[in-house]
Amino acid sequence: MTFPHVQLSANPHDRTGVRRGDEAWLDRRWADPTSRVLVLSGTRIRPVGGRVDWVSPAEAPDGLRVLLGEQDGATWFAVVVDPDAAPGEKSEWLDLRGLLPHLAGDGVAQAPLVFHAIGLAEWLFTTRFCPRCGGDLEPRNAGHELVCRNCGRSQFPRTDPAVIMIVTSGEPGSEDERCLLGRQSVWPEGRYSTLAGFCEPGETLEDAVRREVAEEVGVRVGDVEYFGNQPWPMPASLMLGFVARAVSTEIEVDEHEIEAARWFTRAELKAEAEAGTLVLPGGVSISRSLVEHWYGEPLPGSW
């Protein structure tokens, strides 16, 4: 089942996994001027003209070549270069959060490719040595495998499941129904978002929702309904969205991850968003999708 309202997951590419070890095919595709390449400085990307910049293979600098896959009749690659060798000023290269505004509009169609590239770059950056023997690692399979030069053990990218949820209370669809949003102390005044947290070993996703809400704001949750998912390679997460029904409403924030939390009716949400006293997550995030799914239509303003 697809969720078109989760924008950053709506246009997946063919990852062409069977071609990652085919060096002859990779060389042919790299020689094709229609192939597109995304350059990463370590784990960062430099937008050009307000958009993510894809270049031809001939324009790409030397670096670790990564196959992303095929889409729209073209082959898509990424090249990861050392930040000290990347062109331009370091301040021009943005992390994923800074890049999100450049993925809005027409750029959202390429978001899965960008997330694939950043996710692999993050994994390559953090996986420096073999966990078995401490040996050096050599990239294989077009950047999707690391093999220890000493003991031969292979390492593959891993993804950490994280739950993100809109918690609701009251009669569904009624004027009195409310949603629960929280904020962190490091955020600017007025910024609120949905709650989120990582799934722990041996835990179901639904129980992770219940535990995280209870830990962060002291609210107990009953029914949990799946909404959709969105990759979030910061550094290696998959955000799994849910709509959760509260069975208690008293808030007691943990004052560690969450500074404050509030219940909002739809009328309050709209009025404060229009006034700018409530600032909601960006329009392409799954958090924004959860809020607007519950509200029933787009809302003004964003981070």
The pLDDT of residue 101 is: 83
Query: Range with the lowest mean pLDDT among 13-17, 178-182, 283-287?
Result: 283-287
Q: Which residue has the higher pLDDT, 109 or 121?
A: 121
For residue 5, what pLDDT band results from cuts at 50, 70 and 90?
low
CB 6 within 8 A of CB 230: yes
The predicted pLDDT at position 11 comes to: 79
pLDDT tens-digit profile of 144-187? 999 999 999 999 999 999 999 999 999 999 999 999 999 999 99
Strands 74-81 and 36-41: parallel
Question: Exposed/middle/buried for 69, CB within 10 Å: 0-12, 13-18, 19+?
Answer: buried
Tokens of 105: 């509009």
Q: Is the pLDDT assigned to residue 3 strictly greater than 60?
A: no
What's the pLDDT score for residue 4? 44
Q: Which residues contact 229 (CB under 8 A, 6 or more apart)?
A: 3, 6, 9, 238, 239, 240, 241, 286
* pLDDT tops 90 at residue 50: no
For the stretch 192-245, pLDDT in tens is 999 999 999 999 999 999 999 999 999 999 999 999 999 988 888 999 999 999
Quote the DSSP letter at residue 247. Answer: S
- Residue 103's SS3 state is helix
Q: Indicate whether 188 pLDDT > 60.
A: yes
- pTM, to two decimals: 0.86
Summary mean pLDDT of the chain: 93
Which pLDDT does position 129 carry in this prediction?
A: 96
Q: Is the pLDDT of residue 79 over 60?
A: yes
| Structural domains in the chain, sorted by start | 7-126 (3.90.79), 131-157 (no CATH), 160-295 (3.90.79.10)
